[in-house]
Amino acid sequence: MRANFFALWCASVLSFITTTAQASSWEMKMYEHGKISVVYWVVAIVIIGLSLKITLLNLRLKKEKRNHHS
């Protein structure tokens, strides 16, 4: 299950980075007004915020499991 979460995390961050990189080359054509940067901020907040919580959950679960077994 943790592997799935890790895959989700990596895939989300990777897709965000790749689409952002692509979009920067489109800016002259499609995103002339800079408002697309607001979208990137929002996507980054959501992905980083959820990744942070998932990481914290993962660490806590590891710790609790270790305590449980010992």
Scan for tokens 């989300």, then name that residue. 12
Interface positions with other proteins (CB under 8 A): 1, 4-5, 7-8, 11-12, 15-16, 19-20, 22-23, 30-33, 35-36, 38-39, 41-43, 45-46, 49-50, 53-54, 57, 60-61, 64-65, 67-68
Query: 48: how many CB neighbours lie within 10 A of its CB?
Result: 13
> Could you give the 3-state DSSP secondary structure of residue 34?
coil
SS3 51: helix
Quote the least distance from Cβ 28 to other proteins, whole Å: 10
Minimum distance between the CB of residue 46 and other proteins, rounded to whole angstroms? 5
